[in-house]
Amino acid sequence: MVVPFGLEDRPAEQRRAVATLRLNDGVPLAIIGAARSGRTGALSAVAASVARRFAPTEVQVYAIDAGARALGDLEESPNVGAVVFRDELDRLGRLVMRLAEELDRRIQTLALHRRRDIAAQREAEPDAPWPYMAVLIDRWDLLTEEAEVSDDRTLVSTLERLVTEGGRAGILVVATGDRSMLTGRATALFPDRLVLRLADAYDYVSAGLSGPPGRGEPGRGWRAPEGVETQVAEAGVDAVGDAEGETGVPDRVVPWSRGGPFRIDRLPVLVTRDDVTELVEAMALERAETRSADVPVVLGEPVEGRSGSAGALLVAVGGDELGPRSIDVDEHGPCALVTGRRRTGRSGVLVAMVESALEGGWEVAVVTARRSPLTRLPAVYPRVHGPFRHDEDAPELAEVVRRALREGRRLLVVADDVDLLPEGALADELASLPQRMRDTGSFFVGSGEAEEILASFRGPAPALRRARCGVMLAPQGTEEGDAFGVRLRRGQYGRALGVGAGYLVLDGLAERVQVVRSDLLPAPGL
């Protein structure tokens, strides 16, 4: 299976040939050149050729744009699953991780069935062939350099593994870069090279070439190792022309089909409960359209992460394919922790959980150590008790908890700034909740700063740490992961994130999310 992307000039043979990317061979390609030499245009030409000739179930494209964000238009193609830019560190990490997981799955399956490569799999299973995947990376040099500076070796090593091991599994990497890719480790990673115009004539010598190709036009270069002069086609032009007949490359426009590439959606900076409702409806419709016609579809049936369980409390949206994210009390109870520094949206997480609980018919008790948006909730909702702020309020809170547990009703207790509560009767009452609420369907959530939660060995803090469950907002250091028993990668902390942006932690696994914002809270910046 080949992807034509330009023309080759072969004067010794008195002919022109099609320049192709051979997916069957699995040899990664490096496109090297100076600024405005046509590097990014070559990637666009490859993506356009894939979209023109192959269905999304045959060849899929994923792009990483670490350059001038010139690959954004590729997202319109049905063959393209995601275009990720260099500053989208979370999406970049999710894409690379997803590709690495797919590589592992394919290699393990090949070994299990004793097959050599993807070609053998496609031949043995013609009814369920694996699609080829082309990973296009613009400015490999900048991407790896920035990862080295940020000490994120995991990203670099995973990308290098995709390059070296992906070929036999049908995952082919095409990367562009500057002259630095002519030396060092890149020469071993990319045996196939297309050298475009370079800024310094001495660079051609290091590449084993006599000089610049043609007159230095964009897209004109030398294809190693044979040194064949090549002209890359423009993305919207079929420059293959009459040479196609010699190579057998079909020229066909393929209609869109289902079962295309996986997505890596962008997280919204602001999401409301109405947005989540629309998202759930869209997910239900999409699922209905993908089912076979003879299977009955009920659009009102629960969608994963929204309300499939009576104990599910909606918290945020997230995931590679954007969807609602909840904490299932029956599975992850009896308590959860919310961490973050001031103005990261800790109170907003608690309000979102309160509204979700009230929607499900729960009762709610509110505890605050200082001024908080939660103090307004009892005046807005009839089933909200409190706010409880002082030790004198502890007996009333204890009675609310006893009554709910005795009558078998679900109760959510939220404590804002729990780290600021002084030692006393109220803190002791909160500390007893995780043990008393276990397996009852009720839930306790406390918020505070991670450093204070880690330093506290009295009150509710120890139980909240052991839960390994909750929301970690805009982490700035590894200690915030320690509060959940999670080891954060370098790219997961130390960045400026918006209000309500962070990670949902369930069973010690962190997923990037955006917290659902209540209409009771003012919009960010107001």
Annotated binding-site residues for ATP read 33-40
Q: How far apart are CA 526 and CA 515, in angstroms?
A: 18
Residue identified by tokens 């509710």 is 460
Q: Which two structure tokens, joined as six digits, stand for 386?
A: 């409190």
Tell which phi-psi region holds residue 72, choosing left (phi > 0), alpha (psi between -120 and 50) or beta: alpha
Q: How far apart are CA 65 and CA 45, in angstroms?
A: 15
DSSP string of 297-359, one letter each residue: --TTS--TTTSSSTTEEEEEEETTTTEEEEEEHHHH-SEEEEE--TTSSHHHHHHHHHHHHHH
| Binding annotation | 33-40
DSSP string of 31-93, one letter each residue: EE--TTSSHHHHHHHHHHHHHHH--TTTEEEEEEE-SSSTTGGGGGSTTEEEEEETT-HHHHH
429 and 394 Cβ atoms separated by less than 8 Å: yes
Q: Which two structure tokens, joined as six digits, stand for 394?
A: 């502890």
Rg (CA), the chain: 28
Q: How far apart are CA 351 and CA 373, in angstroms?
A: 8
- Strand pairing category for 228-232 and 443-448: unpaired
Residue 398, helix vs strand vs coil:
helix
